[in-house]
């Protein structure tokens, strides 16, 4: 596709359930980033992939959060045993490299009831 895509666009789940968020980066982009943005707040860095490896996982809030990237392309962010404080917009971005412009996807709005 022409841009970064994310699915689902919206997800409502019950507290305690697991959710999986998907990101399809721009073809050929080696770097992929996950961010979280709560209402009215800035972007919180979660994790960064270079190819399939994640050199920086420092932003993951807890061990309930994990992410993987396969084939140097699609990435999934998994949140286990969701909590209400996990409610936010989860944004994915990709770039040709760390010093290149990041292109953001439309985000997944997660609501945990």
Q: Is 52 in the site for another protein (CB under 8 A)?
A: no
Residue 99, both tokens: 């010093």
Length of the chain equals 113
Q: Is 28 in the site for another protein (CB under 8 A)?
A: no
| Residue nearer to another protein on the CB measure, 80 or 102 | 102
Smallest gap from residue 5 Cβ to another protein (A) = 11
| Residue nearer to another protein on the CB measure, 84 or 99 | 99
- Whether residue 44 contacts residue 58, with contact meaning beta carbons closer than 8 Å, is answered with no
Smallest gap from residue 49 Cβ to another protein (A) = 11
Binding site for another protein (CB under 8 A): 33, 35, 41-45, 48, 50, 55-56, 91, 98-99, 101-107
């Amino acid at each position: 596709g022409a841009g970064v895509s994310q699915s689902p666009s919206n997800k409502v789940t019950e507290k305690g359930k697991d959710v999986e968020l998907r990101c399809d980066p721009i073809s050929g982009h080696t770097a992929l980033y996950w961010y979280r943005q709560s209402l009215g707040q800035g972007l919180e860095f979660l994790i960064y992939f270079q190819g399939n490896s994640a050199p920086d996982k420092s932003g993951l809030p807890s061990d309930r959060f994990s992410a993987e990237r396969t084939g140097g392309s699609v990435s999934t962010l998994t949140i286990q045993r969701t909590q209400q404080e996990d409610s936010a917009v989860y944004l994915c971005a990709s770039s040709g490299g760390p010093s290149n412009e990041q292109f953001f996807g439309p985000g997944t709005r997660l609501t945990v009831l």
